[in-house]
Structure 1
Amino acid sequence: MGDPNKLNESVQWWDEHLDYANTLLLLIESESLKCTISQEALADAVSISDTCRVGFLDGSVVNRRYPRRWSPLRARSDLTAWIAGGMKTPLTTNETLDDLALWRVVKRSVIVDALDSFTFVSKDADLVKRLSFIAKAKTAYKNNDYKVSFTLLWFVIESSVKAIFGPRSQKNGRPIPVSKMVNELRDTGLIPAKIADLVDTLRKLRNQLVHEPGSTVCHAHDCMQAVHAATQLATVTANIDLRMKWETGVQF
């Protein structure tokens, strides 16, 4: 996909692959939180800009993150050697120090369980997309971008409602309103009444964000309610227990 005339296709192709990466990261986080003897491996969504780091420096191909022409593998190798040597000399490379922050030690069982769940989840491309959106919303929440986080979570909520409702979500070629689908799903017992009521509340905030984005305020609490609804609805047909740790904050 290196043809510059196929930029849109290339971006779409890579973005779809990153959905699977984000889903796996979310599942690893979930399993690490369940394991009481493992470090937490909190997920941050991977974007295209995080992976496309190849550039040119003085005519040589380099990794943009490592301007000294060091690859991530070289940085980790040097860091490992520095630690093994007793850390007696100053570590002068910022690239290596930055790489240290990426290291997480988790139990082998965490990875095994996450891969088992991923094997099941990866068979459903729509579920992968929804979980990836949750991962992206989690990262936006971490960056205090609550409106973006909420909007991404609403995508998950609405698409999940339509998936549960099935082909009937279209009537005479026109989509049935989400509110009507939610009410019917509640009446038939396909979703809990509390989740249905929550979705109705979130839908009103979503409408305000769309029609009055300048004056509508979205709080961290709104995002936490949205992720609760999104997770419950996205996993209705999937036998997975998804646990996450959402963090946000401000510093002055």
Structure 2
Amino acid sequence: MRVAVIDSGLGMVAYAAALARMRPDLELVLARDPDYMPYGLLEPHQIAERIVTVASACARHDVDAIVIACNTGSMYALESARARFEPGIPVIGVVPAIRPAGATGRPFAVWATAAATVSDYQTGLIARFASPELAHRIPCYGLAEAIDSGSSSLVADAIARAAAATPADTESVVLGCTHYGLVRDEIVAALAARTGREPQVFDSPEPVARQTLRRLGLAPHGVSGGRPGAVVAVIESGRPGTLPPQLAAYPAGRLLLSRCDPAEKIS
């Protein structure tokens, strides 16, 4: 079976890698939208249009499911994408893991893009699943863009700024942007230095991968190991593309590169 994983930038990488680990036999189509990245700068209707455009390019590769591996994209485009492609092609979105963080009853931080931090969507999730006074909303200025650049120094600077803005009573962190899981270890280290404790991390690549497999009627296997699924196509803003060299900066990116189809060379 073949699954498309899409985002404006490299946020799709951790989600594609999670699928590859759970089902090494899956074929993957990776799609990003560099012409319009970041989606947080667009109007909601533009985000919906971009997601549907990129997903349509993926659908031409005979995919069996589409994962919108972007919180902003899922927020504003999931309904439009499902109306366009379902029931023939299941469309799976992502939701920040605020519910399990709120269930701890302890102070937690939601690290997200500036646009997502002030969105009604995030406000609603916190109101529904947590005590608002325990939820610290942290805008991570420039972190997604730094991750896309592959620059460790830019990533370190953006993480340091977000960590400095995170209250010292924080016990866990929700990674509210799909990019952030690529630098999970660096975020944990920065918050441990800030708070004096290693925070629990709530992220969603594995739950989204399991949901995708459920929609496809597949059972996970090889969850703790195995080779990643083959990358059979790369799409950039709806066009045939190549894998960017920045993927090599991240373990999940290297995992995908190791099983890239020979026709899909790194740019």
Q: Same fold (TM over 0.5)?
A: no
Higher Cα radius of gyration = 1
- Structure with more strand by fraction: 2
- Structure with more helix by fraction: 1
